[in-house]
């Protein structure tokens, strides 16, 4: 029988040097934090430019009376899952006469002979970013031409970019008793509500209308 010599593991372990992994672990942790921060940054940036998530409209007629932000307004179209994005719509000059024609037809059918009595006009909500003639202003102007009623530009102005609880300043008051207040897209209804509050002291009859109800 062969006798096997025993090995003193204590002496062997003493000769083994264990590397210091603290720095490596710290670097690994820092890398994970940097990766998470980079991913979050990329995700936020991607969402900001992802037009596939933007509201759309397929222009299927869905005339409706809505109540929002304490007022009623009429709309012709409804936000949809498919169709053109609102940014694309606003950037297309050909959409201005299209909107004006369709909105003009709806208002003509709704108001009928009342329009011919000469006591109607059309206005729009204040300009925000486009200070010359924005999308809604150009449409409202053409609606007025189609309906043969006066269009008043810049009836109200707003000195802040916020939508909620915005305070509008009245620049001029139309002489007509009946006012069509037009907005291209309505989401919360706060802009129309601010228009209503600004013109309330003047005792006018105001019909709030919108092309697209931007809320499902």
Cα separation, 198 vs 75, whole angstroms: 22
pLDDT band at 46 (very low <50, low <70, confident <90, very high): very low
Which pTM value belongs to this model? 0.73
Residue 206, classed as helix, strand or coil, is: strand
**Are 187 and 53 within 8 A, CB to CB?**
no
Cα separation, 38 vs 41, whole angstroms: 5
Cα separation, 125 vs 119, whole angstroms: 20
In this structure, the strands spanning 205-213 and 178-186 are parallel
pLDDT band at 130 (very low <50, low <70, confident <90, very high): low
The tokens for 4 are 């096997």
pLDDT of residue 47: 46
Beta strands in 30-188 (DSSP E): 56-57, 64-68, 71-78, 84-85, 120-124, 151-152, 156-158, 168-170, 178-186
Cα separation, 171 vs 166, whole angstroms: 16
Cα separation, 29 vs 24, whole angstroms: 9
**Are 135 and 184 within 8 A, CB to CB?**
yes
113-124 average pLDDT score: 92
40-57 average pLDDT score: 59
pLDDT band at 44 (very low <50, low <70, confident <90, very high): very low
Condensed to tens digits (0 to 9), the pLDDT of residues 4-13 reads 555 555 555 5
The tokens for 191 are 């802009």
Q: State yes or no: pLDDT of 33 exceeds 70.
A: no
What phi and psi, each to the nearest 5 degrees, are found at residue 118? 75, 15
Q: Count Cα neighbours of 159 within 13 Å in the Cβ-side half-sphere.
A: 4
Q: Count Cα neighbours of 83 within 13 Å in the Cβ-side half-sphere.
A: 15
Cα separation, 97 vs 94, whole angstroms: 6
């Amino acid at each position: 029988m062969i006798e096997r010599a025993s090995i003193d593991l204590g002496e062997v372990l003493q000769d083994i040097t264990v590397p210091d992994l603290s720095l490596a672990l710290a670097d690994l942790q820092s890398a994970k934090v940097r990766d998470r921060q980079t991913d979050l940054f990329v995700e936020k940036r991607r969402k900001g430019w992802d037009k596939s998530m933007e509201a759309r409209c397929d222009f299927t007629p869905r005339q409706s009376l809505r109540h929002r932000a304490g007022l009623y307004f009429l709309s012709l179209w409804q936000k949809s899952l498919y169709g053109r994005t609102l940014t694309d719509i606003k950037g297309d000059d050909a959409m201005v006469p299209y909107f004006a024609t369709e909105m003009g037809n709806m208002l003509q059918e709704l108001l009928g002979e009342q329009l011919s009595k000469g006591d109607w006009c059309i206005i729009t909500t204040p300009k925000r970013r486009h200070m010359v003639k924005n999308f809604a202003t150009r449409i409202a102007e053409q609606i007025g031409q189609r309906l043969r009623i006066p269009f008043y530009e810049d009836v109200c102005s707003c000195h802040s970019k916020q939508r909620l609880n915005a305070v509008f300043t009245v620049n001029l008051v139309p002489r007509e008793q009946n006012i069509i207040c037009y907005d291209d897209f309505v989401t919360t209804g706060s802009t129309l509500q601010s228009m209503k509050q600004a013109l309330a002291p003047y005792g006018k009859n105001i019909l709030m209308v919108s092309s697209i109800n931007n809320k499902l």
